[in-house]
Chains A and B, each alone.
Chain A
Amino acid sequence: QSVLTQPPSASGTPGQRVTISCSGSTFNIGRNPVNWYQQLPGASPRLLIFDNNQRPSGVPDRFSGSKSGTSASLAISGLQSEDEADYYCAAWDDSLIGVLFGGGTKLTVL
């Protein structure tokens, strides 16, 4: 079964750098672009990173994405309290012929 695996939780203190991983397979991350979404409490998700490492306008450069092989990562530097949210990776899966989301990572700013 095709899945994208994320750690369920992550944490850091203000100013720290944290990374969130997303592990997939050759059918999804290995062949297709990865996008990251941020969902603040009580809000709709928003696009944070697209095409592996591109930031939409308005997203601070504290957020960065990378991809290598069948894994991707989201990095947040200079952590701020307003970064406390759920983060999801997503990619097209060629075997499912559909979009897969990771299970989500809840980021806590201590």
Chain B
Amino acid sequence: QIHLVQSGAEVKKPGASVKVSCRTSGYTFTTYGISWVRQAPGQGLEWMGWISPYNGNTNYAQKFQGRITMTTDTSTSTAYMELRRLRADDTAVFYCVRDEALLLSKFDPWGQGTLVIVSS
């Protein structure tokens, strides 16, 4: 079975950074991309970007360019998403998802989500 297990909840102050991990298992890590999707409290889903574990190529949503970095560690089949210069409106649940291919928007399965609270 395919699993994506994310790191635990975080509380951060405005201006800080957060790095969320996503450990995968049950498939060959380098044969699928990983996308990150966030969901603010009571709001809808928002795609943040994509990374290819095969070659490290990334594609970030325009909104986050300049303050987001996605990386992978193929030795542990783990993906990471770092968001910098956090603001209160970054408070959200962040999901990692296995992404079949960049243009397909086919996300399956999803991690359990990581709640990040940004508050002074």
Contact = CB atoms under 8 A, between A and B. Distances in A.
Nearest to A86: B44
Given A45-B45, A45-B95, A104-B44, A33 B110 contact: no
Interface in A27-49: 32-33, 35, 37, 44-47
A56 B105 contact: no
A22 interface: no
Interface in B61-117: 61-62, 95, 102-113
Given A33-B104, A35-B107, A44 B95 contact: yes
Given A37-B45, A92-B103, A99-B35, A46 B61 contact: no
Interface size grouping (class) on chain B: 20 to 34
A51 interface: yes
B113 A44 contact: yes
B40 to A, nearest CB: 12
A50 B46 CA distance: 18
Contacts of A102: 44
12 contacts: A32-B103, A35-B107, A37-B45, A44-B112, A45-B37, A45-B107, A46-B108, A90-B47, A91-B105, A92-B103, A96-B62, A98-B49
Interface of A: 32-33, 35, 37, 44-47, 50-51, 56, 88, 90-92, 96-104
